[in-house]
Structure 1
């Protein structure tokens, strides 16, 4: 699998890995460091940066390069579901210095006072972000969240076994594929299928929409492999191994699966879907805010941002990075998607709608 690492059989919340070449007080200066835009750290200031990120998301080489330039250590924990990240930050302020929420989770974390406002003077590379994403930052997050990449969720399928045209979420109701299908273990993504099949918007204002969506999803769930929802990285692995033939899938995972198994294809359903913006934030209780901001700035450097895209296969929000992104990735329609009119971004729902959503999702996963 190109530039990816996979963790199997290890509990995500307790798995951690130390990246680094800087051990104790022994560090060799790097003569090819990337200009950070903020002051470098000295040996006397050496410290640890605690990062919480999606599994299979960060390139270990980028982490080690940051350690080398700033002469620090970076400790990374991984999660498969950002609800795990939210709970960890909420229950233990100060456990992490940098987190990687999606736009929806950033909204929620701001609403619950779990994020610190950033000193944007310490993040000059924010100027590299494409204008449409700068507009989102200024409109929604006002300095609490910095966008890094974007993508969407659609349908991945194996063309060796699925010969019909795939263009609708309705394929998940087809009983002939029972046991060969999967949906992502994410409430927003799963519930949106029911909403879209019924012609409702991604962010409804009527709680009854959730009840109606639940009825459809209760028909779909028994047709899924093991009758359960599945972590996104497991979906990618099983698409490659052909244990799955049809799956709800993030576009980057579909791209990686297609590289490994060319029979895996990807489409955005005609009913529409959710798109998301992923980014970086500093949670409350951070032990070293300046170092955390230096890390955010480092990730927004054009060459580093490009390396992140080459590794993760997520389209970056950094238009200065495009010159360094692998040309095959820039041309890949699964990564830099052009599906105008089919994408909606998740928003925080009205309280009564959110309560009904929570109830329906809890009922769906408990069956």
Structure 2
């Protein structure tokens, strides 16, 4: 996709002044920098409001952390894959419904597993023995009680602490809630799932804010056909340039001058910047004038969690017909789980999920070693597991 001559044309020949003169005779123009869901949604809104819009994206694809992979012959979301809050309050829900995209419901609003219900999963110990469902449910109820008690800890302390530290305080106060043996390992799996929801370890999750997230009502739905159709619909008719890495954004003569990596310049009346937080943290874009200090400080202090996926496609289905298959362990770090896409979509695909420090550590492995590790975890649960026909890895959902 290349920019049209009439929209924020690049300065290959001619001068900046002549381009300004041409644009003064045209409609207001905006350059959107970054082709993730935020950038595409912004571009769509501006386009619908009759602005001239050019979107610059550094990758060779749109979507950012939304990335639907079709290499298995079926859609597999290696980035975002759920709609959290299936209701009109969620601005994506009406669009998804309008596009006729089906959702697979994985949980209601109050699931202890956050985006899955207790009814559709099986857990195994490290020796491959299935854990009784009743034990899993009982430990889940105890986990809810522990989290409820952390609210009292929060009220008693003016300074923040991690949710893990608060859980430790609760268990010291209420020893009867402490679990031993297999029940302790199941409890660690629940903590592992909590860490996956926040894409951070429990000792990094804020006690004061962990339950303050305003998730719209309506439960959680998995995108059966992937998120790419949403990206495609939002991008329709918008002037988009892929493989255009922005290096500088300058305020010039009441206009915005954007310089890309190969030295070309683009000019518009305004710019909307939706690049990933990691790009801003790494100072990969020069701003002229410099960003105000309060904004630099905010960028520095913000963090982003990490969750990685390993998708494995098999010739035949040999696993139980449940949404999640998990392995418990003595620490949350050693626990793990697979998302069963076959139940949701009918395709023989399992997706191993890794979050927090575990995800960071996994990134140090080669692709081959990463797949081997995932298969080792799968064979702990299902010794008869066959080798995958093919696999795909997504290391880091954001740079």
TM-score for both structures, normalised by structure 2? 0.27
TM-score for both structures, normalised by structure 1? 0.29
Greater Rg over alpha carbons, structure? 2
